[in-house]
Amino acid sequence: MVKATERLGNYLTAYGEVLAQGEKREPVWLRQLREDAWSRFDAKGFPTTHDEDWRFTNIAALARMPFRRAPQGNAGLTAKDLERFRFAGAACQMVFVNGRFAPTLSELGNLPKGLEVCPLARALDCGAGGWAPEGCAPEGIEQHLGRYADVRRDVFAALNTALWEDGAYLRFRRGAIIEQPVHLLYVSAGAGSEIMTHPRNLVVAEEASQVAVVEDYVSIGDEAAFSNAVTELAAGQNAVVSHYLIERENFAATNVSTLRVEQARGTNIASHSILLGGGLVRNNVHPVLAGEGAECLINGLFVGAGRQHLDNYMMVEHAQPQGGSRQFYNGILTDSARGVFHGRIIVHKDAQKTDAKQTNRNLLLSDNARIDTKPQLEIHADDVKCTHGATIGQIEEEQLFYLRARGLDEKSARNLLLYAFAAECLDRMKEPAAREFAENLIRARLADLSRGAVAATAIEAAEENVQSWEEVG
């Protein structure tokens, strides 16, 4: 059998460089994690569309691209370049340029009490150098890092574990209530083409803390970068955590991001994903309700135009009784964009009285747009409630006529309906600052859609006058 790395030599090179860079600094357990993960990737290689989890997303082209690690440094970026990406009301902002922490571009002043923020490499003393965080307590990292992300099942998680160089380490102390979100900004910029980064984040929300984290991916320039991020979020008993993923990179970018949440008893977790940018995006959300009475909300919006491909892979595991999960994903696709919603719910034998719900609604605004939506329920307990549903449709003619009959011109009416469809996901966001931030981004994206190619294709759809909402699954 040909090993993956015989074909994927660029990854082997990167792996060698990362190992050399961490030599003598990285703890033994971390090197073991890397080695295990690497051998997994080496044996398995990238998935193909024969793999059920990747049936609707072909990454053959991605696998062929000779991605390499980014050079060190800030790519000449200044604070001014990032101005437009910041958001008001964040507790602090960590900026990563091409996968590495950029202290001079970050804003970490006056951290609220109970919040510890540190670049992960620095926390493990991997030699990011030059910046010594105050009050950062890395002692808990070993018990969490790499314990949740599944390198056996998920090749991208394996690749990330082998190759990560930096990311955010956030620790929210027991009982801390941090009302303002922590903003993590990942910038790909100015490093030439075919740069890959593997950001690795660890968020530890201790017992009864209440916090929000925003992961935000942007690009400056139009180079084709590949970002493969993994975030492990460990939520202690009764912790309340909101996680936001915002993908707004350029349309040449590939972004694979994996959120793995470990939920202790009584935790309440919300995952909000807003996919607006990126050419090829895979959004993995995988909470495990490992304690009794845990709740999770998985909320998302994906908006695709041109040839964007936005794949959402949800996997909710109920491992203990009395858990609840609700999934709501709305997709808007136009031009030749393609969306995927794969909603898998696994209810383990002990997870009695589980209540799991899943809804995926999609608007297709052009003939060539396409959505594949696939619910997948695996239920091993006998006293559970699981529901799922998916709809695919166009803008409803009745609603459009109602608005026009009150005086709104067709374009405004259509925009308003699109916005209303998108805004359903905003209603589920609890943090006002993050919600407003997301709202502005969504509004801007929809305005772009209606200015661009969407105008022509949307009118086509209206002329067809099709109102059928197809029930799937």
Partner 1 sequence: MALLEIEDLHASVDGHEILKGVNLTMNAGEVHSIMGPNGSGKSTLAQVLARRETYEVTRGKVLFDGKDLLEMKPEDAACQGVFMAFQYPVEIPGIGNAYFLRSAMNAVRKYHGQDELDAMDFLPLYKERLKLLEMDEKLMNRSVNEGFSGGEKKRNEILQLAMLEPKLAILDETDSGLDIDALRIVAQGVNAMRSPERGFLVITHYQRLLDYITTDFVHVLVDGKIARSGGPELALELEEKGYGWAETEAGISA
Binding site for partner 1 (CB under 8 A): 397-399, 401-410, 412-413, 416-417, 419-424, 427, 465
> Between residues 250 and 399, which has the closer beta carbon with respect to partner 1?
399
The span from the CA of 134 to the CA of 122, in Å, is 11
> Between residues 350 and 460, which has the closer beta carbon with respect to partner 1?
460
Kind of pairing between the strands at 254-263 and 225-235: parallel
Q: How far is the CB of 450 from partner 1 (least distance, A)?
A: 15
Kind of pairing between the strands at 195-197 and 200-205: unpaired
Torsion of CA 410, 412, 417, 422, to 10 degrees: 140
The span from the CA of 163 to the CA of 135, in Å, is 27
> Between residues 223 and 424, which has the closer beta carbon with respect to partner 1?
424
> Between residues 126 and 303, which has the closer beta carbon with respect to partner 1?
303
Q: How far is the CB of 172 from partner 1 (least distance, A)?
A: 33
The span from the CA of 67 to the CA of 228, in Å, is 12
What token pair was written down for 36? 């295990």
Q: How far is the CB of 363 from partner 1 (least distance, A)?
A: 12
Q: How far is the CB of 295 from partner 1 (least distance, A)?
A: 24
> Between residues 283 and 415, which has the closer beta carbon with respect to partner 1?
415
> Between residues 184 and 301, which has the closer beta carbon with respect to partner 1?
301
> Between residues 6 and 409, which has the closer beta carbon with respect to partner 1?
409
Q: How far is the CB of 324 from partner 1 (least distance, A)?
A: 23
CA 421 to chain centre: 21
Can you say whether residue 190 is alpha, beta or left, with left for phi > 0 and alpha for psi between -120 and 50 degrees? Answer: left
Residue whose tokens read 């808990």: 140
The span from the CA of 196 to the CA of 13, in Å, is 13
> Between residues 137 and 447, which has the closer beta carbon with respect to partner 1?
447
> Going along 276-369, which residue ranges are E strands?
280-289, 295-304, 309-318, 324-333, 338-347, 355-364
- Give, for 22, the enclosing helix (H) or strand (E): helix 9-22
Q: Are 358 and 347 in contact (CB under 8 A)?
A: no
The span from the CA of 305 to the CA of 395, in Å, is 16
Q: How far is the CB of 407 from partner 1 (least distance, A)?
A: 4
Q: How far is the CB of 417 from partner 1 (least distance, A)?
A: 7
| Other beta carbons less than 10 A from residue 269's beta carbon | 24
DSSP 107: B
Q: How far is the CB of 89 from partner 1 (least distance, A)?
A: 23
Q: How far is the CB of 427 from partner 1 (least distance, A)?
A: 8
> Between residues 385 and 411, which has the closer beta carbon with respect to partner 1?
411
Burial class, 299, CB count within 10 angstroms (exposed 0-12 / middle 13-18 / buried 19+): buried
Q: How far is the CB of 179 from partner 1 (least distance, A)?
A: 24
Phi then psi for residue 453, to 5 deg, are -60, -20
The span from the CA of 345 to the CA of 354, in Å, is 11
> Between residues 120 and 429, which has the closer beta carbon with respect to partner 1?
429
- Give, for 268, the enclosing helix (H) or strand (E): strand 268-275
Closest CA to 257 of 277, 228, 224, 234: 228
> Between residues 30 and 363, which has the closer beta carbon with respect to partner 1?
363
| Other beta carbons less than 10 A from residue 324's beta carbon | 18
Q: How far is the CB of 413 from partner 1 (least distance, A)?
A: 8
The span from the CA of 119 to the CA of 127, in Å, is 11
